[in-house]
Structure 1
Amino acid sequence: MKTNSWDGSESHPYRDVIGRRALPHDPPLSLDPAQEIFFITICCKQRRSNQLCHSEVASILFEAARFYEREQRWFVHVMVLMPDHVHFLVSFGLDATMTNLVASWKRFTSRRAKIQWQRDFFDHRLRGDEGWREKGDYILQNPVRAGLVAKYEDWPYVLLPAER
């Protein structure tokens, strides 16, 4: 009987990925991506430099996010731009994989807003014991924790569902 564990006797299926200290982003096929919420972080290549918190850049990033929603590729529950990275909670449409969709969004925004993104991104699927509201509050409080504003409501670089 074949087991799902890897015993080292043959090449590991993710050998080249693990060597780069990264794992595949897309969730298992058994999950319904439209029913799952993911916490995504995308960082700029140049850290500690304000590349995203400019009104014209924010406008491009938010409009691209809204476009993907209109196309039913994803639904953004909350998106917060920080000077050198972006956090969001997102659910994906049935016809899109997370890896391809995030790569497409990064390519488009990179060209339009002249942003140099890091090659990869961080993702975390929220599990049953993690509340998406708590994660959303954590994301919204990021500018406060960074000392950029006293309260998150004062941060202008936020996209919420009510703002569509």
Structure 2
Amino acid sequence: MNALPQRKPLGHEIPSWVRDGEIYFITICAENRAARPLIQGTIAHNLLESVAYLNDHDQWFARLFLVMPDHVHGLISFRADNSMPRRITAWKSFTTKQFGVKWQDRFFDHRLRRDESLDEKAHYIRMNPVRAGLVDAPEKWPHVLDGYKRLG
């Protein structure tokens, strides 16, 4: 029997040739997705507050960040001197210690390229709760932070 090839995990370090401030589509999943841990109690609000804090302190810039019951999506820019994997790992660690969120080890990132539309990715993220049947319109989902707006 032939063994299947093993997938080699790709690193998340941003190559030196990528311009500072490029936008990344990020997905981070909770460990126990079936339990819907991210919308229990004040967890979603606390996650959004922590994202706003990082925005305010120039650690990253989340243009859009949405909390689903079992994962988060974001459109985030990172400064060249603040590596994406270190910043996300630090955020995950903080939210685990402060709010008890348990995350999967890895995360997904995709750099938006010139031929990709920021608006299309933002629409995809905002429609996520609608596609999941949680609300009938994206503006009804309460667990979202628009980086151009402040939390209410």
Deviation at 1:163, TM superposition (A): 2.3
Identity of paired residues, percent? 42
Structure 1 unmatched ranges of 5 or more = 1-17
Residue 122 of structure 2 corresponds to 136
User: RMSD across aligned C-alpha pairs, in angstroms?
Assistant: 1.6
| Aligned-partner Cα distance in 1 for 2:123–2:106 | 24
Partner of 2:18: 31
Match of 1:49? 35
Alignment partner for residue 103 of structure 1, among 89, 109, 116? 89
**TM-score, normalization by structure 1:** 0.84
Q: Is the 8 A contact 1:46 1:84 kept in 2?
A: yes
One-letter identity of the residue aligned with 2:18 = L
Q: TM-score, normalised by structure 2?
A: 0.90
Query: Residue type of the partner of 2:15?
Result: P
CA contact (8 A) 2:62 2:76 kept: yes
Q: How does 1:1-164 map to 2 (within 5 A)?
A: 21-34=8-21, 36-54=22-40, 56-161=42-147, 162-164=149-151
Contact 1:73 1:95 in 2 (8 A): no
SS of residue matched to 1:79 = strand
| Structure ranking higher on relative contact order (CA contacts 8 Å, 6+ apart) | 2
Unaligned runs of 5+ in 2: none
Instruction: Letter of the 2:12 partner, please give it.
Output: H
Q: Distance in 2 between matches of 1:113 and 1:105?
A: 11
User: CA offset at residue 54 of structure 1?
Assistant: 3.5
Runs of 4+ in 1 over 6 A off after TM superposition: none
Report if aligned partners of 2:45, 2:143 keep a CA contact under 8 Å in 1.
no
